Amino acid sequence: METELYTLDDTETDDAVFARAAALLRAGELVAFPTETVYGLGASALDADAARRIYEAKGRPSDNPLIVHIADPAEADAVAYVPYAYRRLAARFMPGPLTVIMPKRACIPDGVTGGLDTVAVRCPSHPAARRLIETAELPIAAPSANRSGSPSPTTAQHVLRDLGGRIRMILDGGPCEIGLESTVIRLTESGCEILRPGAVTERMLADVLGEVTVARAVTDPGAAGEHPQSPGMKYKHYAPAAQVVLIDAVPTLFTEYVRAVIRPGEAVAVPDDEAALYDGCSVLSLGQTHSAAEASHALFSLLREADIRGYSRLYIALPPPTGEYLALYNRLIRAAGGRVVRLNPQP
Ligand code: TXA
Ligand code: MG
């Protein structure tokens, strides 16, 4: 099939593009669209056949449930049985990069939730995502718009490369602002549990809910089997063809080690202001300066770039498994298949 690619430009031509995209969604077809986190691959969340097309296009295991996207936090009531804690979270963090798992209503087919009796709900803040949902007048089921196993797409070109010829339409809204997927949480009696860390951090959630725990599989990929509630945790993720070598070391030790072991055809990923320490080496950018937000924004694009350039190995410093670095830590440890070179003394 031919994939139509439209660049959104905030002019009247966008009206026709959204009308066309909404018509495709209503007809059960797939449309990729930008969000503030990563690009999503959208289909009607009320249509089991449309959901099946998502799994086919992505090559995704059918037991891995999809997130249902809504244009206004109050629309959650149409798809889920909404506890009070959701409303408190919505008042603070929605629209935005937070996904909440709740008991699902019957209008959401089993094919969307991988047979679970819960549904993950998210209200994105990206204006194009909200406008698409509003125009289609549907809740939109949307996983990240990559082929299963590869890094999530943060530009329309990433989507085209993975899914061109497999989906009907891509809306190009430029690069995603955040670059890592939303925080996914499960509400518990006393607070919540983070199943996937994102830009809404443990601390931010604790401010609203009190008790917040982090699922063990977030920092220990080997523990994923413990979490049958979140099937996504057990699958291989974000793995580029290059071997990602994660190094746990203080900055001077990291530089010394990488300079000693790096070979031609291999690359190191560091912030731009550290690039000069690696003259003669291939360097990929983790953002302009050392910051969690910049590195998060850069990571998935960088993993794809490493493959395009054909590097066999990519050296990256392991961030701390805390605060605003936790999401980055979680994606990196999966990209590295759980292996870490530890040069710091262990406690
Ligand atoms: O930022 C995001 O969340 C992006 C954009 C497009 O919104 N979407 C995204 O979707 O990352 P996806 O399908 O790539 O990741 C959804 C994750 C998976 O790990 C899945 O297992 C988990 O959420 N999930 C979805 N529904 C669930 C449910 N009912 N119970 C437990 N986990 C669920
Ligand atoms: Mg995904």
Q: Whose CA is nearest to atom 18 of ligand 1?
A: 232
Comma-separated ranges of CATH 3.90.870.10 domains in the chain: 4-223
Rounded Cα distance between 151 and 240, Å, is: 7
**Ligand 2 centroid to 328 CA: how many Å?**
15
List b or e across 207-228, with b for residues whose CB sees 16 or more CB atoms inside 10 angstroms.
ebbeebbbbebbeebeebeebe
Of the residues 31, 58, 67, 177, which should be mutated to test ligand 1's pocket, given the most ligand atoms within 8 Å of the CB? 67
CA dihedral in degrees (162, 150, 302, 288; nearest 10)? 110
Do the Cβ atoms of 231 and 319 come closer than 8 Å?
A: no
pTM, full prediction: 0.96
CATH number for the domain running over 243-342: 3.40.50.11030
Q: Is 330 in the pocket of ligand 1 (CB under 6 A)?
A: no
Write out the DSSP string of 34-50.
--SSS-EEEEETT-HHH
Q: Which atom of ligand 1 is nearest to the CA of 119?
A: 29
Rounded Cα distance between 218 and 214, Å, is: 7
Q: What are phi and psi of 17, to 5 degrees?
A: -65, -45
Q: Under CATH, which architecture does the 4-223 domain have?
A: Alpha-Beta Complex (3.90)
pLDDT in tens, 93-121: 999 999 999 999 999 999 999 999 999 99
Coil vs helix vs strand at 142:
coil
In the prediction, which pLDDT does 238 show?
A: 76
In the prediction, which pLDDT does 113 show?
A: 97
68 closest CA partner among 88, 40, 30 = 40
**Ligand 1 centroid to 213 CA: how many Å?**
18
> Beta 266-270 vs 118-122: how paired, if at all?
unpaired
Coil vs helix vs strand at 103:
strand
Tell whether omega for the bond before 103 is within 30 degrees of 0, i.e. cis. no
Which ligand is nearest the CA of 233, by number? Answer: 1
Comma-separated ranges of CATH 3.40.50.11030 domains in the chain: 243-342
In the prediction, which pLDDT does 228 show?
A: 54
Q: Is 119 in the pocket of ligand 1 (CB under 6 A)?
A: yes
**Ligand 1 centroid to 304 CA: how many Å?**
21
Q: Is 64 in the pocket of ligand 1 (CB under 6 A)?
A: yes
Q: Whose CA is nearest to atom 29 of ligand 1?
A: 119
Q: What are phi and psi of 246, to 5 degrees?
A: -90, 135
pLDDT in tens, 27-86: 999 999 999 999 999 999 999 999 999 999 999 998 999 999 999 999 999 999 999 999
Q: Which atom of ligand 1 is nearest to the CA of 198?
A: 1
pLDDT in tens, 126-151: 999 999 999 999 999 999 999 998 99
pLDDT in tens, 230-252: 666 666 677 788 999 999 999 99
Rounded Cα distance between 335 and 347, Å, is: 25
